[in-house]
Structure 1
């Protein structure tokens, strides 16, 4: 039972929030690009997951598994093109593989479809008086059609059921 909670922080964020690799960026010891250091040596997945679950926008992994989190400043010392593989044992000194964990732009397209049904063109066709009388006969025709098939099976089922039932009861 205790093994299950320990393995929970390891997975990456949900697929909709997969991190975006921003690149390799320089860092300094006196003025960190991402100011929050997560203690211990971490894999890339664990670093990303920890920063994500702590609510930070960026995660950076550097040197031998050092993990840094923050909401801004990842690029304040400039880009570097000499990072080793981001998931390797040693990314490199004074440089970070940086990932964006949250994208604010993603929320805007989600809100646009919500405003589309609110538009007024739907009211225009409803205002036509000829549309209302047309739908009234259509509505009354539906119950008439439904009643006919419903009464037919009930009527034929009653005599059929009484004959077989009468034999075993007697």
Structure 2
């Protein structure tokens, strides 16, 4: 939230284009600033909760609880026993199903402290595929030749 003495419309538009969530011109009432901060926080919480549970057909990933489960019709819910890296890979790929991710990106995102080679991602994807297939979910982790991996498009 930008608080400034410049109240011209071009200044306001410029600030919003550069990433400000809101714009308050001096002089202002402190209650107005508090209300605007609360509104921004409310919007950000809504965005977070919408992304906390990722779903694709019977596969459900609860990012906040760090739980992945598969529910097939007529069967009990199958909780997947994933390593932290496998869980992170699955959640990352599910968040943007049409986007291909490079091995390097996945390595940096899902194994940030590791000095492993990019091919380690292949091993984790292989293990993740086996666990998903064991629960009845197959073909969702797709190789993108020359790039890396993506989650199956809806």
TM-score for both structures, normalised by structure 2:
0.26
Larger strand fraction of residues: 2
* TM-score normalised to structure 1 length: 0.24
